[in-house]
């Protein structure tokens, strides 16, 4: 990871770019939504909240999604913060990445011009049902349906769509370019030079 070189009366000090960005209240979700990435995000969010809960935080997202449980932990944390959180989708906010995007205020969800968002129903992923009894499989299906209802409720609430409208769209992987995401209520604007300057 490249370092930024700071020169002071104490001499030259190399500081990682991540540390510099965190100091400036800029954090990143890059790659899978996982226990590790979400724990790091939550720690950073809570640290910045404790430092000054009146100042905005900018979250840059480029994620294919991943763990629903861990992603909902980030979603809930953002919703509980007093610090206003702005999201910027730099590549894709897919699956749980899109849910984390929706945690931010509707007017604070930006996308780069070529970015995209994808929403869909919850899925089992790579769960192996080999050796499971019918009632155990049914229990897993019931839990999956509960999770899906939770995600549909979030998307509906945060986009202004009805649950039926969302359910119809999320039956399949639904990809939105920046303009389509804005129209659906997933994002607020395509970021321009002025907004980018304000965020960095």
Taking only the tens place, the pLDDT of each residue in 98-140 is 999 999 999 999 999 999 999 999 876 666 666 778 887 787 7
Give 198's pLDDT tier (boundaries 50, 70, 90): confident
Instruction: Give the Å distances, CA to CA, from 110 to 30, 35, 78, 145, 178.
Output: 16, 25, 16, 30, 9
- Residue 134 tokens read as 């019918």
- Provide long-range contacts, Cβ within 8 A and 24+ apart, for 195-198: 195/110
26, pLDDT greater than 70: yes
85's enclosing H/E stretch is strand 85-94
Q: What is the CATH number of domain 3-193?
A: 3.90.226.10
Closest CA to 122 of 104, 141, 106, 135: 141
Give 40's pLDDT tier (boundaries 50, 70, 90): very high
End-to-end CA distance of the chain: 20
70, pLDDT greater than 90: yes
Query: Looking at the annotation, which residues are catalytic?
Result: 95, 120
Predicted pLDDT of residue 199: 73
158, pLDDT greater than 90: yes
DSSP characters over 56-75 = -EEEEEEE--B-HHHHHHHH
Give the span between the Cα atoms of 155 and 15, in whole angstroms.
Answer: 39
Predicted pLDDT of residue 139: 79
Where do the structural domains in the chain lie, given as residue ranges? 3-193
Please provide residue 37's backbone torsions phi and psi, each rounded to the nearest 5 degrees.
-65, -35
pLDDT averaged over the chain?
A: 91
Closest CA to 31 of 75, 85, 95: 95
Give the span between the Cα atoms of 18 and 3, in whole angstroms.
Answer: 9
- Residue 46 tokens read as 């809570």
Beta strand 57-63 with 85-94: parallel, antiparallel or unpaired?
parallel
């Amino acid at each position: 990871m490249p370092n930024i070189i700071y020169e002071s009366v104490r001499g030259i000090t190399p500081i990682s770019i991540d540390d510099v960005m965190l100091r400036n209240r800029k954090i990143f979700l890059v790659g899978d939504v996982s226990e590790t990435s979400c724990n790091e995000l939550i720690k950073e969010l809570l640290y910045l909240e404790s430092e000054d809960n009146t100042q905005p935080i900018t979250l840059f997202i480029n994620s294919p999604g991943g763990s629903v449980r861990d992603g909902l932990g980030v979603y809930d944390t953002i919703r509980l913060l007093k610090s206003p959180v702005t999201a910027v989708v730099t590549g894709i906010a897919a699956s749980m990445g899109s849910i984390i995007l929706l945690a931010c205020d509707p007017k604070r969800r930006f996308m780069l011009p070529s970015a995209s968002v994808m929403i869909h129903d919850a899925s089992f992923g790579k769960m192996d049902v080999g050796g499971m009894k019918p009632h155990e499989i049914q229990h897993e299906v019931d839990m999956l349906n509960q999770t899906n209802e939770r995600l549909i409720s979030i998307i509906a609430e945060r986009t202004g769509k009805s649950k039926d409208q969302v359910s119809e769209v999320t039956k399949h992987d639904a990809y939105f370019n920046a303009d389509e995401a804005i129209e659906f209520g997933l994002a607020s604007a395509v970021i321009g030079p002025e907004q980018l300057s304000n965020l960095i």
